[in-house]
Structure 1
Amino acid sequence: MISWERVNELRDEVGIEDFREVVAMFLEEVEDTMVRMIAVPDLSRLEEDMHFLKGSALNLGFLQFSELCQAGEKAAAGGQADTVDLDEIFESYAASKSVFSKKFGCMKAA
Protein backbone atom coordinates (compact mmCIF):
# COMPACT_ATOMS: atom_id res chain seq x y z
CA MET A 1 0.00 0.00 0.00
CA ILE A 2 2.84 2.39 0.87
CA SER A 3 6.41 2.43 -0.37
CA TRP A 4 8.28 2.99 2.89
CA GLU A 5 11.47 3.12 0.87
CA ARG A 6 10.13 6.18 -0.97
CA VAL A 7 8.94 7.74 2.29
CA ASN A 8 12.39 7.27 3.83
CA GLU A 9 14.11 8.66 0.72
CA LEU A 10 11.96 11.76 0.82
CA ARG A 11 12.51 12.25 4.54
CA ASP A 12 16.28 11.87 4.07
CA GLU A 13 16.30 14.24 1.09
CA VAL A 14 14.43 17.09 2.73
CA GLY A 15 15.06 16.53 6.45
CA ILE A 16 12.46 15.89 9.12
CA GLU A 17 11.18 19.47 9.46
CA ASP A 18 10.69 19.94 5.72
CA PHE A 19 9.29 16.42 5.53
CA ARG A 20 6.52 17.43 7.90
CA GLU A 21 5.73 20.41 5.67
CA VAL A 22 5.71 18.23 2.54
CA VAL A 23 3.34 15.76 4.19
CA ALA A 24 1.03 18.52 5.40
CA MET A 25 1.02 20.14 1.96
CA PHE A 26 0.38 16.79 0.26
CA LEU A 27 -2.54 15.94 2.50
CA GLU A 28 -4.07 19.39 2.19
CA GLU A 29 -3.77 19.60 -1.60
CA VAL A 30 -5.04 16.06 -2.16
CA GLU A 31 -7.97 16.53 0.18
CA ASP A 32 -8.85 19.92 -1.31
CA THR A 33 -8.87 18.35 -4.77
CA MET A 34 -11.04 15.44 -3.64
CA VAL A 35 -13.50 17.77 -1.89
CA ARG A 36 -13.80 19.85 -5.06
CA MET A 37 -14.30 16.70 -7.15
CA ILE A 38 -17.18 15.67 -4.89
CA ALA A 39 -18.72 19.13 -4.53
CA VAL A 40 -18.44 20.10 -8.20
CA PRO A 41 -18.21 16.93 -10.30
CA ASP A 42 -16.67 17.68 -13.70
CA LEU A 43 -15.80 14.66 -15.84
CA SER A 44 -14.04 16.96 -18.31
CA ARG A 45 -11.39 17.64 -15.61
CA LEU A 46 -11.11 14.05 -14.41
CA GLU A 47 -8.00 13.17 -16.41
CA GLU A 48 -6.23 16.28 -15.08
CA ASP A 49 -7.37 15.63 -11.50
CA MET A 50 -6.29 11.98 -11.62
CA HIS A 51 -2.90 13.01 -13.00
CA PHE A 52 -2.42 15.50 -10.16
CA LEU A 53 -3.48 13.01 -7.49
CA LYS A 54 -1.26 10.31 -9.00
CA GLY A 55 1.79 12.56 -8.93
CA SER A 56 1.14 13.66 -5.38
CA ALA A 57 0.68 10.07 -4.27
CA LEU A 58 3.91 8.94 -5.92
CA ASN A 59 5.88 11.72 -4.25
CA LEU A 60 4.88 10.45 -0.83
CA GLY A 61 4.89 6.73 -1.59
CA PHE A 62 1.13 6.07 -1.56
CA LEU A 63 1.44 3.26 -4.13
CA GLN A 64 -2.04 1.76 -4.19
CA PHE A 65 -3.64 5.19 -4.34
CA SER A 66 -1.32 6.24 -7.18
CA GLU A 67 -2.09 3.06 -9.15
CA LEU A 68 -5.84 3.68 -8.87
CA CYS A 69 -5.35 7.31 -9.92
CA GLN A 70 -3.28 6.18 -12.91
CA ALA A 71 -6.02 3.77 -13.97
CA GLY A 72 -8.56 6.59 -13.59
CA GLU A 73 -6.37 8.93 -15.60
CA LYS A 74 -6.08 6.38 -18.42
CA ALA A 75 -9.82 5.71 -18.42
CA ALA A 76 -10.60 9.42 -18.56
CA ALA A 77 -8.06 9.94 -21.35
CA GLY A 78 -9.75 7.12 -23.25
CA GLY A 79 -13.16 8.75 -23.04
CA GLN A 80 -14.38 6.54 -20.20
CA ALA A 81 -14.37 9.03 -17.33
CA ASP A 82 -17.82 7.84 -16.30
CA THR A 83 -16.38 4.39 -15.45
CA VAL A 84 -13.87 5.68 -12.89
CA ASP A 85 -14.76 4.52 -9.36
CA LEU A 86 -14.01 7.62 -7.31
CA ASP A 87 -15.26 5.96 -4.13
CA GLU A 88 -12.61 3.25 -4.47
CA ILE A 89 -9.93 5.85 -5.15
CA PHE A 90 -10.94 8.03 -2.19
CA GLU A 91 -11.17 4.99 0.11
CA SER A 92 -7.66 3.96 -0.93
CA TYR A 93 -6.41 7.42 -0.02
CA ALA A 94 -8.10 7.25 3.38
CA ALA A 95 -6.63 3.80 4.06
CA SER A 96 -3.16 4.91 2.94
CA LYS A 97 -3.35 8.01 5.11
CA SER A 98 -4.38 5.89 8.09
CA VAL A 99 -1.47 3.45 7.66
CA PHE A 100 0.93 6.35 7.12
CA SER A 101 -0.35 8.18 10.21
CA LYS A 102 0.08 5.09 12.39
CA LYS A 103 3.76 4.97 11.48
CA PHE A 104 4.27 8.73 11.61
CA GLY A 105 1.89 9.79 14.37
CA CYS A 106 3.30 13.30 14.28
CA MET A 107 2.14 13.61 10.65
CA LYS A 108 -1.59 13.72 11.38
CA ALA A 109 -1.80 17.43 10.59
CA ALA A 110 -3.81 18.61 7.58
Structure 2
Amino acid sequence: MIHWPRVKQLRHEVGADEFDEVVQIFLDEVAEVMARLPREIENRQMEQNLHFLKGSALSLGFEQFSKLCQDGERRAAAGDGKDVDIRQIITSFDQSKAVFDAELKQNLG
Protein backbone atom coordinates (compact mmCIF):
# COMPACT_ATOMS: atom_id res chain seq x y z
CA MET A 1 0.00 0.00 0.00
CA ILE A 2 2.85 2.40 0.87
CA HIS A 3 6.07 2.35 -1.13
CA TRP A 4 8.46 3.07 1.74
CA PRO A 5 11.58 3.43 -0.43
CA ARG A 6 9.86 6.40 -2.12
CA VAL A 7 9.02 7.92 1.26
CA LYS A 8 12.64 7.54 2.34
CA GLN A 9 13.80 9.10 -0.91
CA LEU A 10 11.49 12.07 -0.40
CA ARG A 11 12.74 12.52 3.15
CA HIS A 12 16.32 12.46 1.87
CA GLU A 13 15.49 14.98 -0.90
CA VAL A 14 13.74 17.53 1.32
CA GLY A 15 15.68 16.83 4.51
CA ALA A 16 14.50 15.40 7.78
CA ASP A 17 13.68 18.86 9.17
CA GLU A 18 11.37 19.74 6.26
CA PHE A 19 9.83 16.29 5.80
CA ASP A 20 7.00 16.69 8.33
CA GLU A 21 6.00 20.01 6.77
CA VAL A 22 6.00 18.50 3.26
CA VAL A 23 3.82 15.63 4.48
CA GLN A 24 1.38 18.04 6.12
CA ILE A 25 1.13 20.18 2.98
CA PHE A 26 0.49 17.03 0.93
CA LEU A 27 -2.24 15.87 3.27
CA ASP A 28 -3.89 19.30 3.40
CA GLU A 29 -3.89 19.72 -0.39
CA VAL A 30 -5.13 16.20 -1.00
CA ALA A 31 -7.92 16.62 1.57
CA GLU A 32 -9.03 19.78 -0.21
CA VAL A 33 -9.24 18.05 -3.59
CA MET A 34 -10.79 14.91 -2.11
CA ALA A 35 -13.60 17.01 -0.63
CA ARG A 36 -14.46 18.30 -4.12
CA LEU A 37 -14.17 14.98 -5.90
CA PRO A 38 -17.60 13.50 -5.05
CA ARG A 39 -19.28 16.61 -6.50
CA GLU A 40 -17.39 16.57 -9.80
CA ILE A 41 -19.62 15.93 -12.77
CA GLU A 42 -17.50 17.46 -15.52
CA ASN A 43 -15.05 14.93 -16.97
CA ARG A 44 -12.28 17.48 -17.59
CA GLN A 45 -12.30 18.79 -14.01
CA MET A 46 -12.43 15.25 -12.62
CA GLU A 47 -9.51 14.30 -14.85
CA GLN A 48 -7.46 17.26 -13.60
CA ASN A 49 -8.24 16.55 -9.95
CA LEU A 50 -7.38 12.87 -10.30
CA HIS A 51 -4.17 13.78 -12.12
CA PHE A 52 -3.17 16.03 -9.22
CA LEU A 53 -4.04 13.33 -6.69
CA LYS A 54 -2.10 10.71 -8.64
CA GLY A 55 1.04 12.83 -8.69
CA SER A 56 0.75 13.79 -5.05
CA ALA A 57 0.21 10.17 -4.07
CA LEU A 58 3.26 9.02 -6.02
CA SER A 59 5.39 11.64 -4.30
CA LEU A 60 4.53 10.23 -0.90
CA GLY A 61 4.49 6.54 -1.79
CA PHE A 62 0.72 5.98 -1.68
CA GLU A 63 0.87 3.34 -4.44
CA GLN A 64 -2.61 1.81 -4.40
CA PHE A 65 -4.28 5.20 -4.11
CA SER A 66 -2.16 6.50 -6.99
CA LYS A 67 -3.16 3.58 -9.22
CA LEU A 68 -6.84 4.14 -8.56
CA CYS A 69 -6.45 7.85 -9.33
CA GLN A 70 -4.64 6.99 -12.56
CA ASP A 71 -7.42 4.63 -13.62
CA GLY A 72 -10.03 7.26 -12.79
CA GLU A 73 -8.06 9.92 -14.63
CA ARG A 74 -8.00 7.76 -17.77
CA ARG A 75 -11.72 7.07 -17.54
CA ALA A 76 -12.53 10.76 -17.11
CA ALA A 77 -10.23 11.65 -20.03
CA ALA A 78 -12.15 9.17 -22.16
CA GLY A 79 -15.44 10.81 -21.16
CA ASP A 80 -16.41 8.08 -18.69
CA GLY A 81 -16.17 10.07 -15.46
CA LYS A 82 -19.48 8.63 -14.32
CA ASP A 83 -17.79 5.22 -14.16
CA VAL A 84 -15.06 6.38 -11.76
CA ASP A 85 -15.51 4.77 -8.35
CA ILE A 86 -14.99 7.84 -6.18
CA ARG A 87 -15.93 5.93 -3.03
CA GLN A 88 -13.14 3.40 -3.69
CA ILE A 89 -10.64 6.22 -4.25
CA ILE A 90 -11.64 7.90 -0.98
CA THR A 91 -11.48 4.62 0.91
CA SER A 92 -8.05 3.86 -0.53
CA PHE A 93 -6.76 7.27 0.55
CA ASP A 94 -8.14 6.85 4.06
CA GLN A 95 -6.59 3.39 4.36
CA SER A 96 -3.27 4.55 2.93
CA LYS A 97 -3.14 7.49 5.30
CA ALA A 98 -3.90 5.25 8.28
CA VAL A 99 -1.10 2.83 7.32
CA PHE A 100 1.27 5.73 6.64
CA ASP A 101 0.56 7.30 10.02
CA ALA A 102 0.82 3.98 11.87
CA GLU A 103 4.02 2.77 10.21
CA LEU A 104 5.94 5.98 9.50
CA LYS A 105 8.23 5.94 12.52
CA GLN A 106 9.15 2.28 12.21
CA ASN A 107 9.92 2.63 8.50
CA LEU A 108 11.96 5.80 8.78
CA GLY A 109 13.55 4.92 12.11
TM-score by length of 1: 0.89
Number of aligned residue pairs: give it.
Answer: 104
Separation in 1, partners of 2:81, 2:40: 11
| Residue of structure 1 equivalent to 2:42 | 43
| Corresponding residue number in structure 1 for 2:71 | 71
1:93 aligns with 2:106: no
| CA-to-aligned-CA distance 1:27-62 (integer Å, 9 cap, x gap) | 000001111223x43333110010000000000010
RMSD: 1.2
Which aligned pairs between 1:1-20 and structure 2 lie closer than 5 A? 1-20=1-20
Counterpart residue number, 1:108: none
Separation in 2 of the partners of 1:63 and 1:37?
19
TM-score w.r.t. length of structure 2: 0.90
Equivalent residue letter for 2:42: L
Contact kept, 8 Å, 1:75 with 1:84, in 2: the verdict is yes
Structure 1 residue ranges (4+ consecutive) displaced by more than 6 angstroms after TM superposition:
none
For residue 15 of structure 2, give the secondary structure of its aligned residue in structure 1: helix
* Contact 2:7 2:61 (C-alpha < 8 Å) held by counterparts: yes
Secondary structure of the 1:2 match is: coil
Aligned-residue sequence identity (percent) comes to: 49
Q: CA contact under 8 A between 1:43 and 1:82: conserved in structure 2?
A: no
